[in-house]
Amino acid sequence: MFKKIRAKKSLGQNFLMNKSKLRKIADVLELKKGDTVIEIGSGHGELTEELRIKNKELRIIAIEKDTEFAKALKEKFSKDKNIEIIEGDVLKVLPVLFGGFKLQALSFKIVGNIPYYITGYLLRIVSELELKPELMILTIQKEVAQRISAKPPKMNLLAASVQFWAEPKIIGYISKKDFRPAPKVDSAIIKLKATSDKQQVKSENYYKLIKILFKQPRKTIFNNLCGAKKIDADKCRKKLLKAGINPSDRPQNLEMGKLKEMLKYEII
């Protein structure tokens, strides 16, 4: 039923065909009895099959934007009551799952070989969810995965955004040759584990801070923050020093703990 359906370049469809990599993704998802898994971009259902083989008691909510693939998936898994296929854009569907009756689990996991172009949008939407996924396993562009996982002295806006709510870890890399059709770049399997940070930090203020801080990475922390708001330079410098931060340092050298600490001193 899938052979007649061609991959659509406009939807960024590149299907992972390497069975060992699919099994690895299923393995690192740490599946347990009764888990609810949201799968993004199910395509032909190769990963869906692996998840079902791994744990037959899973509840799988598979989101597929392509109408033809969604229809074929519904036919393929029509006899499995634990698999639900939702046709739609995950960027629109995911927030709705939490407002309705479909996702009533107290915890859930997300998995998917996602189109590269939605990576940033997807992670932003997940960051805004009141209930975060316990675990996310995503296949994304190799370079993007490395940016997300970056630590000082390579801290960046994307890393600071994601590491605010999750601990990233690159599980492994996948050659572009393992996909059909093959993308232009290699991929990485990244694991994002939700963190339970006891430190109360308002996300709105945090994202505002890092957006200003990393806007011009080559500038110093002092110039980015204090120049942005045109506040008193002396007061700004004193607040940074109280937070234990060298005003002449670069944003790329800041650890997550320091980024959150800055909010206490109301620098911006």
Per the model's pLDDT, the better-predicted residue between 105 and 219 turns out to be: 219
| pLDDT score, position 188 | 97
pTM comes to 0.89
Which token pair is 40? 């993004």
What residue type is 266 in one-letter code? E
What residue type is 202 in one-letter code? K
How far is residue 48 from each of residues 74, 99, 201, measured CA to CA in Å? 12, 25, 37
Burial (Cβ within 10 Å: 0-12, 13-18, ≥19) of residue 198: exposed
User: pLDDT-based confidence at 107, cuts 50/70/90?
Assistant: confident
| Sequence-separated (6 or more) residues with CB below 8 Å from residue 136 | 109, 110, 111, 126, 166, 190, 191, 192, 193
| pLDDT score, position 8 | 55
What residue type is 52 in one-letter code? R
Cβ contacts of 206-213, under 8 Å, gap ≥ 24: 206/164, 206/259, 206/260, 206/263, 207/161, 207/164, 208/268, 209/259, 209/262, 209/263, 209/267, 209/268, 210/157, 210/160, 210/161, 210/259, 211/157, 212/268, 213/160, 213/251, 213/254, 213/259
Is residue 229's pLDDT more than 80? no
Coil, helix or strand at residue 215? coil
Contact by Cβ (8 Å): 168, 192: yes
Mean pLDDT calculated for residue range 198-207: 71
Q: How far apart are CA 257 and CA 199, in angstroms?
A: 10
Contact by Cβ (8 Å): 140, 114: yes
Q: How far apart are CA 49 and CA 22, in angstroms?
A: 9
Per the model's pLDDT, the better-predicted residue between 104 and 33 turns out to be: 33
| pLDDT score, position 101 | 45
What domains does the chain contain, in order, with CATH numbers? 9-194 (3.40.50.150), 203-264 (1.10.8.100)
| pLDDT score, position 192 | 98
User: pLDDT-based confidence at 245, cuts 50/70/90?
Assistant: very high
